[in-house]
């Protein structure tokens, strides 16, 4: 395997195969598929923006197809998943709880996610809140009335919300379930009663596991990509040493000077990729927080997509749109779409669909994109699709024809 050489397209195919995104599924989704997809990725990042389905639900749809979004919430409530800081805030398989316990026991190393100053200055209030949860049971932030007169922005959380979050980051509280996507906090020992810190693995073993899991999840990995996946800090395992132990395989990608690494469990997939028989056929719409694109540098290296999320950019400075979703087609990221689900009107709007430079418009491309958009719209409960703008403009008419788009007036 040390002599394996992959073309860039083969490396992409191996990456997509590892992520479960190589080919369309041939059967309907089950509840178990949701958990299997999260285990394959290692974690599922959480974000609350809801112009289309919230990110975790969209990431799963890209992988398992049409499914009941309640299944994700049920897995959390049933204890198959827990929430913690993985890549960022994530749903994580409960069997991996011990891998994150070191972070909980050293919360000051978590940066903005934990405030030692808050804990020091508000210790009595934090202790009182913890006692309240212990006595009264699970709570939501909304259970506490704001009394400081401030607005409710991200950096202006009410005191109880900030206390709940520092207790969550330190592991004293866990998320028992969600209601309308709002967190419900409870004592860790009630949410995960089977855990004992005597089970906690040594930190060097945790870091090795994170490195190996990352390479497995990515399919093919440059050394520079590995730390970002689980957001690990130095000292990190030496991938060359792991390869010397036989825990990783080495390969080369045409045009790259550095060694890439492959998990031994993907040896057969890597062989197929090298022979050119691993063929991506899936077309899908990705969340900005999908593992395929959440590392912007990796997306540029692997797919040539220079991707930025512009929802925090002033409207007049946006190039592509508020919440642009990368479009994956047959092994390539061909463009991005700024979409909005007008659920009340039953309309899925493509506010702007922009193809990457050099992407050739063909009947097959238009059909692939139209089929994917139609499926995504239907899953959102939107039977109608409206194409507002495309770049290049000539794509709009072809896409409208393929979609059979009806004249739809959106409510103001």
Q: Give the sign of the dihedral formed by CA 250, CA 252, CA 257, CA 261.
A: negative
Find the mean pLDDT for residues 147-171.
76
Find the mean pLDDT for residues 129-151.
84
Band of pLDDT at residue 107, cut at 50, 70 and 90:
very high
- 173-188 pLDDT, tens digit per residue, is 999 999 999 999 999 9
Find the mean pLDDT for residues 219-243.
97
Q: Does the pLDDT at position 125 exceed 70?
A: yes
Band of pLDDT at residue 153, cut at 50, 70 and 90:
very low
What's the mean pLDDT when you consider all of the chain? 94
Looking at residue 220, the DSSP 8-state letter turns out to be S
Q: Which of 207, 206, 122 is nearest to 164 (CA)?
A: 122
Find the mean pLDDT for residues 41-62.
97
Find the mean pLDDT for residues 227-256.
97
Token couple for 351: 């506010």
Q: Which residue has the tokens 């020992």?
A: 189
| pLDDT value, residue 144 | 87
Q: Which residue has the tokens 């990368």?
A: 326
| pLDDT value, residue 296 | 96
Band of pLDDT at residue 204, cut at 50, 70 and 90:
very high
Find the mean pLDDT for residues 85-92.
98
Find the mean pLDDT for residues 380-406.
93
Find the mean pLDDT for residues 117-146.
92
Tell me if 348 sits within 8 A of 384, measured CB to CB.
Answer: yes
């Amino acid at each position: 395997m040390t002599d394996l050489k992959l073309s860039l397209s083969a490396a992409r195919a191996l990456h997509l195969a590892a992520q479960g995104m190589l080919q369309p599924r041939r059967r309907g989704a089950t509840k178990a598929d949701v958990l299997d997809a999260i285990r394959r990725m290692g974690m599922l990042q959480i974000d609350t923006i809801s112009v289309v389905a919230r990110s975790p639900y969209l990431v799963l749809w890209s992988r398992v197809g049409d499914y009941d979004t309640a299944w994700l919430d049920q897995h959390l409530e049933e204890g198959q998943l827990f929430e913690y800081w993985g890549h960022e805030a994530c749903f994580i398989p409960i069997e991996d709880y011990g891998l994150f316990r070191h972070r909980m026991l050293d919360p000051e190393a978590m940066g903005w996610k934990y405030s030692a100053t808050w804990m020091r200055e508000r210790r009595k209030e934090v202790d009182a809140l913890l006692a309240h949860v212990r006595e009264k049971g699970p709570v939501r932030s909304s259970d506490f009335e704001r009394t400081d007169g401030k607005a409710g922005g991200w950096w202006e959380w009410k005191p109880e919300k900030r206390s709940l979050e520092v207790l969550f980051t330190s592991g004293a509280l866990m998320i028992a379930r969600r209601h309308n996507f709002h967190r419900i906090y409870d004592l860790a020992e009630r949410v995960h009663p089977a855990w004992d810190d005597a089970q906690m693995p040594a930190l060097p073993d945790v870091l090795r596991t994170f490195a190996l899991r990352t390479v497995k999840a990515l399919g093919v990995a440059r050394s520079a990509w590995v730390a970002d996946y689980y957001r690990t800090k130095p000292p990190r395992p030496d991938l060359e040493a792991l390869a010397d132990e036989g825990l990783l395989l080495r390969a080369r990608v045409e045009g790259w000077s550095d060694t890439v690494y492959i998990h031994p469990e993907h040896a057969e997939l890597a062989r197929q990729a090298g022979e050119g028989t691993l063929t991506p056929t899936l077309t899908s719409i990705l969340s900005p927080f999908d593992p395929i694109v959440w590392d912007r540098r990796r997306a540029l290296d692997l797919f040539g997509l220079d991707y930025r999320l512009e929802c925090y950019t002033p409207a007049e400075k946006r190039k592509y749109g508020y919440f642009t979703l990368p479009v994956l087609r047959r092994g390539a990221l061909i463009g991005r779409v700024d979409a909005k689900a007008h659920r009340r009107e039953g309309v899925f709007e493509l506010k702007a669909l922009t193809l990457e430079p050099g992407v050739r418009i063909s009947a097959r491309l238009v059909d692939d994109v139209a089929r994917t958009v139609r499926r995504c719209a239907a899953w959102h409960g939107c039977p109608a699709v409206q194409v507002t703008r495309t770049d290049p403009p000539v794509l709009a008419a072809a896409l409208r024809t393929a979609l059979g788009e009806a004249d739809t007036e959106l409510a103001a």
